[in-house]
A and B are shown apart, each in its own frame.
Chain A
């Protein structure tokens, strides 16, 4: 996989949409890889005991899965120079799993610096779960 050439990127280009499945097993794998073992992301009884509707995904998993859609488009996961988001709505993960839909739009291309700004929209069950999710990748 090679990085996408800057010359092939224009404002208005669409990234995705990509459908990303999430299961309880995904969250256990993410907990182990990230070090975030908060039981609200694994234990349904605990999640309900603190007022949540069910197990919820780590916000950082949702952010990370959204980043993957951008890095796959960029062609090299090392090209992300900035990435930020607000966590606006939890992703509920019932026993049967759930899915995200991640889509991006190129908002700016700086041909001098190679910086490409992508606005990312991540939804679950039709509702946005991330706010102001913006990635900047550097392309040549």
Chain B
């Protein structure tokens, strides 16, 4: 089944809220090798001007991919997830994701196009807090590899 081009322009209802806490930030920072104390020491984070410990910049993906899930698993969207590879990822950060944030993700399908037998699907997810702070804009392109079926 081909990826359904009729989904372009569709925006899903906000996903979440996802709670951000210090333990999650510390685990993500450790996994990407970031020893910056702004991830683990509230005093260091405050000294750098943050309200509390902050997430590494790519931790936004945890929430953007959670929000995108409603789209990629939608049977009508026609995405065979077993054939998906991540092609491209971009973040624009408005402020760091911070311990105590309750994150909402709102996903829009920006583009569906074909290239060399594969489908390229671009989504844009706006991350914000439940209190209205803009956190990040995550733009992701996945490649759905063409198959013999």
Contact = CB atoms under 8 A, between A and B. Distances in A.
B54 A77 contact: yes
Interface string B49-84: 110001011110110011000000000000000100
B34 A72 contact: yes
Q: What bracket does the count of chain B residues touching chain A fall in? A: 35 or more
Given A78-B49, A78-B54, A30 B32 contact: yes
Nearest to B95: A78
A47 to B, nearest CB: 13
Interface stretch (A6-14, A61-69, A105-113, A118-126): A61-69
Contact of B32 (A35, A64, A81): A64
Nearest to B39: A77
Interface in A56-114: 59-61, 63-65, 67-68, 71-72, 76-78, 80-87
13 contacts: A2-B48, A20-B33, A30-B32, A33-B24, A33-B59, A61-B31, A63-B58, A65-B32, A72-B36, A77-B39, A81-B93, A82-B90, A87-B85
Interface of A: 1-3, 20, 26, 29-30, 32-36, 50, 59-61, 63-65, 67-68, 71-72, 76-78, 80-87
